Amino acid sequence: MTRHQVTTRLAPSPAGPYSQAIEANGFLYTAGQTPHDPVTDERVGSTIEEQTVQAMKNLGEVLGAHGLDFSHVVKATVHLHHPGRDFDGFNAVYEKYVVAPYPARTTVGSFLGDFLVEIDAVAVIP
């Protein structure tokens, strides 16, 4: 198996020992993307909708660094700080980015510190 790191300055830099994405065996595996501005590293927005838009933009940039977009995503994992409160607001934004047939998705509640959402994805490489 060969692994290739994928990076872009258009999404936040990793805050630890991990890659923005790894290409392996015909798939792109992304790290979780949060609502941080890639230039300032400041959190963007205070609502789930605003933060989801930024997280999806960051995820889109990581996909785009490998020539992919949301139509290539086959699986997403979503972490919500307040799942009961924020699920509907998150979903309203998320569905504007993904295309049918929609990716498989798992949504879980997680402690996320100062942000409300984190999203990672697996995309197929054509």
C-alpha distances out from residue 20 to 40, 102, 104, 123, Å = 17, 23, 21, 13
- Which run of H or of E encompasses 76? strand 73-80
Sorting pLDDT into bands at 50, 70 and 90, what band is 97? very high
Segment 18-45 shows an average pLDDT of: 97
Sorting pLDDT into bands at 50, 70 and 90, what band is 56? very high
Question: Which of 36, 64, 68 lies closest to 50, judged by CA?
Answer: 36
Q: Is the pLDDT of residue 107 over 90?
A: yes
Q: What percent of the chain has pLDDT over 70?
A: 100
Spatial separation of the C-alpha atoms in residues 80 and 116, rounded to whole Å: 6
Sorting pLDDT into bands at 50, 70 and 90, what band is 47? very high
